[in-house]
Structure 1
Amino acid sequence: MAATLLVVRKPSLLTRIAYGIGGAASGVKNNGFEYFLLLYYSQVLGISASLVAGALFLALVVDAISDPVVGYWSDNVRTRFGRGHPFMYAAMVPLGVAYFLAWNPPAGLDSHGLFLWLVVITITVRLCFTFYEVPSLALAAELTQDYDARTSLMSFRYFFAWVGGLAIQVALLTLLLRPTETVKMGFFNLDGWHTYGLWAALTIVGAIAICAGGTHKYIPYLKAAPAARQLSVGKVFGEIFETVSNPSFRALFLATLFGLFASGISAALNQYINGFFWEFDTDQIAGLTAGVFVSAAIALVVAPIIGKVLGKKRGSIIIGLLAFTIAPAPVLARLLGFMPANGTDTLYYLVLFITVFDLALIIATQMLMAAMVADIVEESELSTGRRSEGIFFAGISFIRKLSQGAGILTAAVVLSMADLRPGMQPGEVAETSLNKLGWGYAASLLVIWMLMILCISFYRISRESHEANLAALAARDDTGPTP
């Protein structure tokens, strides 16, 4: 048994890369839904922003209900292919097809038809994605119990999530959304959006195949489901609530709520800030996006180092405070009259430098927080006697969807207050509207991100307490601890 545990404790570099590539599916899907779907359906297809936001939020609420169910199911299912892998394989093709259709609605639909299409297709995408994402993320706690190895594993995951999402975004902005003789601004090139749907769908399917296939050989070494037992609806939800009552999980749950609430606002308004507030063209926006590849690479190196030197909790608080203060700073500086004029190279390169540095810190914070979720598993197992990786990561997925939906709604409110109507293009918006957009963007991000940092401070697990949890479990298990 010791040899088996040794394999599980230290995933090889190839395994970490395969697991990490699975994050590209998340990056592509999240990037499209958070950064472009509101813009595509409102500004390009002509539905009001509030109606689009309502459709997306409805889909998020319906989808979020599925997360704890899938998490509990994947924790307890017994198959020859383990607990999580059957879900991942089953979701792969339906998710790719549904994502393609999200960007290729039937021709001839009016606003009401597009609204109904958007509701149905986004619910489908998100449900399929839940069946992949929840058990896939839960693998992090099964592949290794080591405090630092988990940070490394989740760092690869978030690195590829950012790289995958950014790569498809750069392709969209530089190759697909090009002006034509009849379309003066690339954002309104419908053929480009349709092709993006195909490229993104193929990337999602490929990433899932690599992640599931690359970790498949570990199935015999992963934790087995508990023995079959009599279950009722009341008992199932009783076990779910018992699991998520863990104090450290509550802290991360609330931190994720506020953090992703802010991210939802930032993502939904990002293209408006770049295109309308700064008046960057599509090539410049693509350059900003490409710069984030550097951010992801820096974070991949920095996050494990910070986790080792400062610990995950302290490190995420320190770099989070720095990152989330810097993020809205350029917009605030412009509102106060301290930034170069729009259209100047100085403005562009200044924003580019700040974006690369700040996003590196933000990504590193995300990596550390994701690894913190995995460390809760053993603490919970001590008190409940059950392995509940799926439920914990489903809980984070649940709040991610609801908080991002709230972020989208808040973004729609900001756009409404700024009087940014469908069909408007850069240069056509009044200065007062741009000021309202800037203040709404910066103030909401600062307040909500600081609430996130406050919640992280209540997380209880350190390196020392994690090792104590492993020792206590070892004392309760005849097989001994992971060597």
Structure 2
Amino acid sequence: MTRTVATDSRPALPGAQIDLLYGLLSLGSTAIWGVMSAWLLYFYLPPEGEGSALVPAALYGGAMLVLRVLSAAISPTIGYLSDRTRTRWGRRLPYILGSGLPMLVFFVLLWTPPFRGTSPWNLVYLVAVLAGYNLAYILNQVPTMALLPEIAVTDAHRVRVSTWAAVMTVLGMMLAAGAGPLIERFGFAHTALIYAVVLLPAFYLPLLVLRERPEHQARPAVRLNFRQNLASMMRNRAFLFMTATGFCFWGIMGLVQASVPYIVTEICLLQESDTLMFYLPAVLASLLCYPLINWLAQRWGKWRVFAGSLLTSALVLPGLMVIGDWLPLSLKAQGMLWVTLQAAALSGVVVLPRALGAEIVDHDEELTGQRREGIYYATWGLLDQVVNGVMAALLPLLLLLGRSHLEPQGPLGVRLVGALGGACMLAGFLIFLRYPLGRGRPAGQGPV
């Protein structure tokens, strides 16, 4: 008697080695970015009693803004050039290979200004070195983001790679958090050198294994110029709705993170030293939820999971408005619960955009006959920076409405961070309902 054996029609996923190595690229760049975000301003403009300023304070902010605008402006050009590159090693890997070491070198040089006291030449030095770092960073990160659809060709694999990239990003932030004790013991320059040496393998070991798909390299006869690239992107409905959704959620996580010290001291009435207790459960919740997001996307489809994450965040974030003595829990417990819940709710928003972007690039290939990952991910990166810049400028304005429990209106501005975040997430959810790709299709169902 012949027995029929049921088989799974879904293609087998590759081993986790590719996922881990791709995520390792995120760990390295995130750790370096985390150290700079936390300590660069402190190094050049230390607080009173901690040393003299190294640059004129009045000029520092303007110089950083100009550099940020210029860096954002060149991102699409880098993406466009990456899409058009043709080498025996592929379109992305040469950029990643050539930019990792310069990025680390510029990172170390940031902490070695030429003069010890306040000097405009220190500012000139900072601008020059930081411009070099930003260029190397873009040359590294745009191709890295665009590499995902090359190394993962099925929907299920892309979600899994995105999950590991998100996990490694969190681990990179945790690694950056250890800079403080090292700075106290070794100083800024030596700490930067330690990070550069330790993280160098994270930038290059993955390149020994990761490989591109040579058939994705555009043929010269069918290449679009830069203007045609932008025009065709504007005709891609999936890109437009995903980008409009991104305008709603980009910047919210940064806004929430920047407000946590105020939540701890002004809403929960604790000490600054208690802030770490609020970050830890958020990090743990994220690390636990990222694999869950991967599992749910395999079964329900990433469209449903991403939409659900947006809606859940829209419901959780306004909870900051209601933390108070009238609830049976302590203020500390309420604050920690809110921080943990918002981290869990946002986990889908953190994990899935990369996989959704790969899906949009596949759809673009159907429309244009070309693979243009670079310009898509670079454009999203540019807009992400713009939105984060707007949110960074908006937070001080919100705090004008009340940032201290000692003010007559209390910390109203701090509480409004939750209300604003919820409103943005709700708007993003309503916009994403019109996203035309992948509705109801589990991520594990075959190649895309």
TM-score interval for Structure 1 and Structure 2 normalised by the shorter chain: 0.7 to 0.9
Pairing 1:131–2:139 present:
yes
Q: Within 2, Cα distance between the matches of 1:113 and 1:268?
A: 31
Alpha-carbon spacing, 1:277–1:204, altered in 2? closer, same or farther (3 Å): farther
Say whether the 8 Å CA contact 1:95–1:125 is kept in structure 2.
yes
Q: Which amino acid aligns with 1:128?
A: A
TM-fit CA distance, 1:194 = 5.3
Equivalent in the alignment of 1:375: 359
TM-score (normalizing by structure 2): 0.81
TM-fit CA distance, 1:129 = 1.3
Alpha-carbon spacing, 1:338–1:213, altered in 2? closer, same or farther (3 Å): farther
Say whether the 8 Å CA contact 1:25–1:203 is kept in structure 2.
no
Equivalent in the alignment of 1:82: 90
Gaps of 5+ in 1: 1-7, 178-188, 421-426, 471-480
TM-fit CA distance, 1:384 = 0.5
Equivalent in the alignment of 1:252: 242
* Aligned pairs for 1:290-369 within 5 A: 290-327=280-317, 329-330=319-320, 332-334=321-323, 337-338=325-326, 346-369=330-353
Equivalent in the alignment of 1:461: 437
Say whether the 8 Å CA contact 1:9–1:143 is kept in structure 2.
no
Residue 133 of structure 2 aligns to a residue whose secondary structure is: helix
* Aligned pairs for 1:29-40 within 5 A: 29-32=32-35
TM-fit CA distance, 1:154 = 0.6
Say whether the 8 Å CA contact 1:53–1:409 is kept in structure 2.
no
Q: Which amino acid aligns with 1:252?
A: M
Q: Which amino acid aligns with 2:388?
A: Q
Alpha-carbon spacing, 1:393–1:333, altered in 2? closer, same or farther (3 Å): same
Q: Hey, which of these two has a bigger chunk of helix by percent?
A: 1
Equivalent in the alignment of 1:286: 276
Q: Which amino acid aligns with 2:219?
A: A
Task: Pick the aligned partner of 2:423 from 425, 444, 447.
Answer: 447
Equivalent in the alignment of 2:384: 400
Residue 83 of structure 1 aligns to a residue whose secondary structure is: coil
* Aligned pairs for 1:151-166 within 5 A: 151-166=159-174
Alpha-carbon spacing, 1:247–1:103, altered in 2? closer, same or farther (3 Å): farther
TM-fit CA distance, 1:368 = 1.6
TM-fit CA distance, 1:210 = 3.1
Alpha-carbon spacing, 1:36–1:303, altered in 2? closer, same or farther (3 Å): farther
Alpha-carbon spacing, 1:153–1:351, altered in 2? closer, same or farther (3 Å): same
Residue 327 of structure 1 aligns to a residue whose secondary structure is: helix
TM-fit CA distance, 1:377 = 1.5
TM-fit CA distance, 1:371 = 1.0
More moved, 289-298 vs 126-135 = 289-298
Task: Pick the aligned partner of 1:13 from 8, 12, 16.
Answer: 16
Q: Which amino acid aligns with 1:441?
A: V
Pairing 1:413–2:413 present:
no
Equivalent in the alignment of 2:76: 68
Gaps of 5+ in 2: 1-10
Say whether the 8 Å CA contact 2:243–2:380 is kept in structure 1.
yes
TM-fit CA distance, 1:325 = 3.4
Identity of aligned residues (%): 19
Equivalent in the alignment of 2:200: 205
Say whether the 8 Å CA contact 1:98–1:125 is kept in structure 2.
yes
